Structure 1
Amino acid sequence: MTEAAPDGWVPRLVALDIDGTLLSWIEDTGAPHPEVSPAVADAVRRAREAGAEIVLASGRSPHGMTAMADTLGLHELTERAWIVASNGAVVFRYPPLEVVLEETFDAAPAVQAVLDRRPSAMVAVEERGVGYRVSKDFPVGELTGEMILTDVADIVAEPVSRVIIRDPEATAEDFITLARELGLHPTEYVVGWTAWLDLAPRGVSKASGLAHVADRLGVDASDVLAIGDGRNDIEMLRWAGRGVAMGQAVQQVIDAADDVTAPVAEDGAALELARWFP
């Protein structure tokens, strides 16, 4: 749907997804381009210089988000940035990396249920500051840091904030169907563009993580601009005062948004930011 923002409205907080919003995808792979376009970087800087809080909100682990904060120069624009990682399960300040909130859950039953149906799937959990513990090597470029081969039972032996399940032999639609058949609540899982499934604590999403940040900053949800492209952005787009979907987003994401900007390949995030921070 499309709704106009109130007259005189200017975002006090800008929540930005990373992959597919700030970074475009490398064609025919599950890996994002490593660089932000100059137009997007300039737009983010203008928003911050105008006084808006910039909060990165991604399914990435904290380890995979600090480089993006550095790329955008958030440490130059603010004393310490707020960042929402792992689809809302981890909220931290940076630099240095200081975890402020972490939601965990016992992932073993859900992981086993998925592997019973998709035995070829790979499982990964973040090893903070190092990389990931993985049951098998993931395709190149899909995870950041070192991959440490580990038995599945050991990967989920302790409560975790997020589990990644990846199956190159499946499709995104296969995983959507699987999650529904297993009776997972919508905020307990997120399916990516490919056969990529994130398992999360119940009730945790980018929206819940951002709500914590907004509360700490004294910002109301109605004063938040959120931009994203994935299914893991749906709750965030609905929660924010203005939620904007990227032009390449699937219809489910577009339906959750107040407006749609251009695709990531056409610097859609920069175009939306320029409306408020010319």
Structure 2
Amino acid sequence: MTPDVSPSDWLPRVVALDIDGTLLKWVEGSGQTHEEVPAAVRDAVRRAHDAGAHIVLASGRSPHGMTVIADLLGLPLDDEDPLWVVASNGAVVFRYPPLQVVHEETFDARPAVEAILREHPTALVAVEERGVGYRVNRPFPVGELSGEMVITEVRDLVAEHVSRVIIRDPDSTAEDFLELAARLGLHGTDYVVGWTAWLDLAPVGVNKASGVAHVATRLGLEAADVLAIGDGRNDIELLQWAGRGVAMGQAVEAVIAAADAVTATVYDDGAATELTRWFPVASGG
């Protein structure tokens, strides 16, 4: 798909939306977002849904942290056609409501976690505890994880295969973690670095693109049918894979370079701007 494609040539049949920095505005300087979907964005998502597009939320958040956002969208969902959600950077795919996991990928995270902790021995480690929150070696900063935090020894966190591990070092930077991950290689895993010193470990080949691809296949569709919008490094594969990948205006250069087009920033409701191109407000509406 090229950036200048016109609505008469193509219409998205799947709309894959990142959450933080795409649907929700960042709280400047905090690494967190306001849990409120702006009216313009909510209305645009509703128009896409009403026009027959399949809405897919795709985030690094755990399933527990995504159902709240699904509720905020206020889409008319029912048991026969619940929302598709790609959680944990593609490792978990579920339908909602109710929350029903339909696909999950797991891996042995122990070697990678041990390698990272040798260089960042005071780093925080978290593994999702579905339906509860996270098991952590020490508490994360307030607001960074959804649900409860259950203190657990690192050896127990990675004793069994998991779908995702979060490594967080408040004393480091995103650049530190990018260099660390590249240097270590982190064999047997894929990884993505967030806005801060936040490292997500996942099974090899598992990312938002693989998760949304699973959904598309279940729907009998393919990449060419997908419009994807995101702003983080964990959106890069998805923006490259989708028929049309759109970066939010505030995204870092690596994300913008991966996209077909760039919309306005999250502070200017960029997701609504892009969606309105394909799903315009009805005349007189």
TM class by shorter chain equals over 0.9
SS at match of 2:149: strand
What is the rounded CA distance, in whole Å, between the counterparts of 1:48 and 1:16 in structure 2?
Answer: 12
Distance in 1 (alpha carbons) for counterparts of 2:144 and 2:53: 31
One-letter code of the match for 1:265?
Y
Tell me the distance in 2 between the aligned counterparts of 1:186 and 1:29.
Answer: 32
- Hey, what's the Cα distance between the residues in 2 that align with 1:258 and 1:137? 39
Secondary structure of residue in 1 paired with 2:32: coil
Matched, 1:47 2:48: yes
**Residue 37 in structure 1 maps to residue 38 in structure 2:** yes
Contact 1:187 1:205 survives alignment (8 Å): no
Moved over 6 A (4+): none
Distance 1:2 1:255 in 2: 13
Aligned residue identity for 1:213:
V
Letter in 2 for 1:46: R
Is 1:19 aligned with 2:20? yes
1:190–1:197 CA contact under 8 A, matched in 2? yes
- Give the Å deviation of 1:118: 0.6
Deviates more, 1:70-79 or 1:251-260: 70-79
Partner AA of 2:3 in structure 1: E
Cα deviation, residue 186, structure 1: 11
> Paired residue for 1:130?
132
How far apart, in 1, do the equivalents of 2:43 and 2:67 lie?
A: 19
User: What is the root-mean-square deviation of aligned Cα atoms in Å?
Assistant: 1.6
Percent identity of equivalent pairs: 72
Deviation at 1:223, TM superposition (A): 1.2
TM-score scaled by length of structure 1: 0.97
Runs of at least 5 residues in structure 1 that lack an aligned partner in the other structure: none
Aligned residue for 2:257?
255
Q: Deviations over 1:222-247 (max 9, x none)?
A: 11100000000000001100000000
Q: Following TM superposition, by how much is the alpha carbon of 1:117 offset from its aligned partner in structure 2, in angstroms?
A: 0.4
Output the CA distance in 1 between the equivalents of 2:75 and 2:154.
36
- 1:108 maps to 110
| CA–CA distance in structure 2, aligned partners of residues 10 and 185 of structure 1 | 40
Aligned counterpart for 2:88 among listed residues 86, 89, 98: 86
Separation in 2 of the partners of 1:175 and 1:198? 10
Partner residue in 1 for 2:197? 195
Q: Is the 8 A contact 2:2 2:244 kept in 1?
A: no
Which residue in the other structure is 1:60 paired with?
Answer: 61
- Letter of the 2:19 counterpart: I
For residue 3 of structure 2, what is the aligned residue in structure 1?
Answer: 3
Aligned to 1:28: 29
Unpaired segments ≥5 residues, structure 2: 281-285
Q: C-alpha displacement at 1:25, in angstroms? A: 1.0
CA contact (8 A) 2:77 2:83 kept: no
Deviation per residue, 1:181-240 (Å, 9 max, x gap):
111379700000011000000011111111110011111211110000000000000110
- Hey, what's the Cα distance between the residues in 2 that align with 1:47 and 1:276? 8
Q: For residue 109 of structure 1, what is the amino acid of its counterpart?
A: P
C-alpha distance in 2 between matches for 1:131 and 1:254: 32
Question: Of 115, 138, 146, which aligns to 2:148?
Answer: 146
Letter in 2 for 1:30: G
Q: CA distance change for structure 1 residues 2 and 248 in 2, over 3 Å: closer, same or farther? A: farther
Q: CA deviation at 1:30?
A: 1.6
Cα 1:229–1:187, aligned 2, differ >3 Å: closer, same or farther? Answer: farther
Q: Which amino acid aligns with 2:226?
A: V
- Contact 1:115-1:121 within 8 A present in 2 as well: yes
